[in-house]
Amino acid sequence: MIEHVFADPPPYSKMPHTSATLCNILSHTFQPRLKQGSMKRAFVLTVVPLVSSASLAAAFVCPAPATATSAAFTPNRPRLAGDASSSSASATIAPLRPARDLHRQQRQRGRHLVASLGGGVPEVAAVVISSTSYVVSWLVGTLVAASIANFLQGRPYSDLGLTPDKILGVPAEEATADHVARLGKAGFMQLFYASQCPVTGDLDGEYRARTLNMGVLHPITAIITHRIWGPGRWLGKGIRTGSREGYNLFASESKGIGLPSDTQRERCFRFSQSSDSVFDRGVSSELDYARAGKNGPLFGGMRDEVRKVNDKLFIGLGYIQAFGGKYNSAPFVMEGPPVGEFSSPDKSL
């Protein structure tokens, strides 16, 4: 039975106020939409309205197309001939021109949007489509840049030959999840290289687990893990090595975060005791969601690799093929001893 030991604060509770607020808004936006288990419904009811709203807002800041409508609002006052003060005035206001021009451009863009409203559906649609393209391009570019940064933060992606004791700063047998959490992404990767594959029976039972605040994509990873992936906050994993099966543990969505709750067992995977690693030339215990089936096209491409630090501490790297695969992995830890025995999953999703 899962007790309140799982009732840790959300991983983004220690983030700066603005980032934490954004994560909470997105979290509470996604969760009510996922009660029916429909990713398509969640996308239509959340992502589309958010992008649409951002597109309308972007219409005020995007460059206005050079149309007859917009040209009609261009403020051009002809200079009067014989104005003796024109040259001296130009020199006086030269430092103010950048701010003045920016203000004029902003006013022009706002007028263009307002003018397009009187031009009928085609012109309004053109403005919205242009703004939507701008927003989508910006979002995609940001995610790509963040993914590259997330990859580079783990470098060097090669085993430097360090021992777990040296990396952790304490004997490996005494290490806890808190010691691992203090490492950066590069330190975690070195610990992963230096750790061994669990042996048969090491991972039997239900284990507490948590994601680690490492890498620039951690806030997004936390939202996906705790709000989109399952019915509630992710708590851990259950594994039965004999039958090579497993599932994930989630807090009941009816209880909320930070309170003792019933546990739901979903998102099944197939367990392999020893499998070649995609991160180095070693071997890891593999959790393959594609082989379990019924995880959907997105999460069906998910894969975890787990290694052992000591009898009560296991570390893992999870990744989704659609989001860059091994080059965009997310670290997590599993803590023992087991808090329960392996049980039947509630459903296969």
Distance CA 265, CA 238 (A): 8
* Average pLDDT of the residues of the chain: 73
In 3D space, the residue among 158, 255, 267, 157 whose CA is nearest the CA of residue 209 turns out to be: 267
In a domain, 58, yes or no: yes
What local confidence, expressed as pLDDT, does residue 246 receive? 93
Q: Which domain holds residue 226?
A: 4-10+198-340
Same domain for 230 and 118, yes or no, is no
Domain count for the chain:
2
Kindly indicate the confidence band of residue 340, based on its pLDDT and cuts at 50, 70 and 90. Answer: confident
Choose the most confident range, by mean pLDDT, from 103-107, 151-155, 195-199. 195-199
Q: Are 302 and 295 in contact (CB under 8 A)?
A: yes
What is this structure's pTM? 0.62
In a domain, 44, yes or no: yes
Same domain for 212 and 328, yes or no, is yes
- φ, ψ for residue 234 (rounded to 5)? -70, 130
CATH of the domain at 234: 2.40.128
Distance CA 15, CA 11 (A): 8
Q: Which amino acid does the sequence have at 14? A: K
* Rounded (to 5) percent helix, strand, coil in the chain: 45, 20, 35
Distance CA 272, CA 303 (A): 11
Burial track 31-48 (b if 16+ CB lie within 10 A, e otherwise) = bebbeeeeeeebeeebee
Helix axes 121-153, 48-58, angle to 10 degrees: 110
Distance CA 46, CA 72 (A): 38
279 pLDDT more than 60: yes
Same domain for 217 and 278, yes or no, is yes
**Using one digit for the tens of pLDDT, what is the confidence trace for 43-85?**
444 455 455 555 545 444 444 444 444 444 444 444 444 554 4
Q: Which amino acid does the sequence have at 22? A: L
Tokens standing for 103? 């203000």
170 pLDDT more than 90: yes
